[in-house]
Structure 1
Amino acid sequence: MAQFMSLHDAIARYLQNGDTVAMEGFTHLIPFAAGHEIIRQEKRRLTLIRMTPDILYDQLIGAGCAERLIFSWGGNPGVGSLHRLRDAVEKGWPSKLEILEHSHAAMACAYEAGAAGLPLAVLRGYIGSDLPKVNPQIRFIECPFTGERLAAVPAVRPDVSIIHAQRADRQGNVLVSGIVGVQKEAVLAAKHSIVTVEEIVDDLQADPNACVIPGWAIDAIAEVKGGAAPSYAHGYYPRNNSFYKEWDAISRDRDTFNQWLDQTVYNAGGQAQ
């Protein structure tokens, strides 16, 4: 059952060095505040999982938190490459990063399989793709009913899943509104889950068919206003497009990146905006 605590305490309690960590949110509700707290607590040797790693994972990789990335597509949306990710893969700075690339469809199916407690996901895909040549997690099996050749990938079962959402009620139920990605599946698939929210309310005011994650599936809830910035939170604040453009220059140079970390994460006194 969900407990309410500070973000610092939630990360310290549930996330350990060497853990497999999923941080999800599609276009908006990306858990930047939680990622920055991971950096401040200097968590190391993490396996990071995300369907579309963007600048948050660039920051975590550049800060030396990660040794492995499981993903589908990575980039600075609308701008270009993730330079800290490329530096880690190509030159091993600040440490070497292993990558396992999947398709979007495979990642979504793997999260669903994890949420269902299954060991693997099966899908039609990867036929004619080169990814199976470089990703040993992609296998092929024969359907026992039709004989069809199908792709299989391991289920995603993180040690910790972290998401950001708009609201939580006092019973620990969480409302995710607007564009919904695989946040629900990520939480249900994980051993432990941490949710940051814009506010804690008496009533979620959830519409019919809304995405409500029940409190029994969540370990920790932290109220962090602006916890998704510079991405946006539907109904609360817009996307900071300027920062995504600025990140291209910040992340290209190691010294400039380290200065940014010192000024806006390590010395932010809490949350970096």
Structure 2
Amino acid sequence: MARLLRLDEAIAELVGDGDVVALEGFTHLIPVAAGHEIIRARKRDLTLCRMTPDIVYDQLIGAGCARKLVFSWGGNPGVGSLHRFRDAVQHDWPVPLEIEEHSHAGMANRYVAGASGLPFAVLRGYLGTDLPAQTSNIRTIECPFTGERLAAVPALNPDVGIVHAQRADRAGNVQLWGITGVQKETVLASARSLVTVEEIVDELEPVPGAIVLPGWAVTAVAQVPGGSHPSYAQGYSERDNTAYQQWDPIGRDRERFTEWLRTSVFEEAGA
């Protein structure tokens, strides 16, 4: 059964320096509060994985938490680039950042393979791109039945998978709905998992199309209302488009970003 912990307790216990960490959410239910707690805990040398790293990964990279990023697209959705990400890649600030780039299909299939206990995934993809020449974790194999040439990518099994969801019950069973991305696969593929939720309830009421992650598959649950802001949690909050727009000038400037870290992440939490 998943344990119910405070967010700071969960991050301190589950995330260690040097870990492979995935904070997943596809435009929706992005675990932003958990990312900020990782910054406050001053975790270092992390390999950060995510299909679509956006501003919370920009913040983690700018705070010096990451040494490598494994991803399939990066940007401030609807606004532009991730400038802390660019600064780390181009100028090694605040620390050098290694990158490993895949397609969306490649990343999703890596999580599926990891969740399925398989060593790798096979897909029709990467044709016509130069990603295989840039990424050593993309290989070509021959189908033993048809002779077709296919792409293969290794399973992705993070040390820690972190997602946000709408609610959980007191036994740690988690319920999420709406755009769910690869949250389920991330939890099942990870050695340890944390789910932050809008609320903890006595009983999960049925919701059409909802996914339920059983408590036995989750390591810890933390109640964090608004834990996905500025992304949204269907049924609980709307996307804060202004926050994404406001991030662009903050992320562009090292001094302004450093001040934002001090006032909005560390001082706000009394860290």
**Same fold by TM-score greater than 0.5:** yes
Task: Give the alignment of 1:1-273 within 5 angstroms.
Answer: 1-269=1-269
Say which SS state the counterpart of residue 172 (structure 2) adopts. Answer: coil
Q: Give structure 1 stretches of 5+ with no counterpart.
A: none
TM-score (norm 2): 0.98
Check conservation: 2:177, 2:209, Cα contact below 8 A.
no
In structure 2, do the counterparts of structure 1 residues 226 and 208 end up closer, same or farther at CA, with 3 Å as the change threshold? Answer: closer
- Structure 1 moving runs of 4+ over 3 Å: none
Code of the residue aligned with 2:222 in structure 1: it is: A
- Residue 206 of structure 1, CA deviation: 2.3
Say which SS state the counterpart of residue 161 (structure 1) adopts. Answer: strand
Q: Distance in 1 between matches of 2:94 and 2:118?
A: 35
Check conservation: 1:51, 1:107, Cα contact below 8 A.
yes
Q: Distance in 2 between matches of 1:262 and 1:206?
A: 42
Say which SS state the counterpart of residue 27 (structure 1) adopts. Answer: coil
Q: Distance in 1 between matches of 2:257 and 2:224?
A: 25
Code of the residue aligned with 2:19 in structure 1: it is: D
Code of the residue aligned with 1:185 in structure 2: it is: E
Q: Distance in 2 between matches of 1:162 and 1:210?
A: 18
Q: Distance in 1 between matches of 2:97 and 2:86?
A: 9
Check conservation: 1:231, 1:240, Cα contact below 8 A.
yes
Code of the residue aligned with 2:269 in structure 1: it is: G
Q: Distance in 2 between matches of 1:56 and 1:270?
A: 20
Q: Distance in 2 between matches of 1:229 and 1:33?
A: 8
RMSD: 1.0
- Residue 208 of structure 1, CA deviation: 4.9
Say which SS state the counterpart of residue 264 (structure 1) adopts. Answer: helix
- Residue 178 of structure 1, CA deviation: 1.1
In structure 2, do the counterparts of structure 1 residues 175 and 270 end up closer, same or farther at CA, with 3 Å as the change threshold? Answer: farther
Q: Distance in 2 between matches of 1:177 and 1:268?
A: 30
Q: Distance in 2 between matches of 1:208 and 1:230?
A: 25
Q: Give structure 2 stretches of 5+ with no counterpart.
A: none
- Residue 7 of structure 1, CA deviation: 0.4
Say which SS state the counterpart of residue 128 (structure 1) adopts. Answer: coil
Code of the residue aligned with 2:140 in structure 1: it is: F
In structure 2, do the counterparts of structure 1 residues 128 and 94 end up closer, same or farther at CA, with 3 Å as the change threshold? Answer: same
Q: Distance in 2 between matches of 1:127 and 1:28?
A: 29
Say which SS state the counterpart of residue 8 (structure 1) adopts. Answer: helix
TM-score (norm 1): 0.98
C-alpha distance after superposition, 1:116-141 (max 9, x if no partner): 01111110011121011111111000
Q: Distance in 2 between matches of 1:149 and 1:114?
A: 22
Q: Distance in 1 between matches of 2:172 and 2:110?
A: 26
Q: Distance in 2 between matches of 1:196 and 1:174?
A: 9
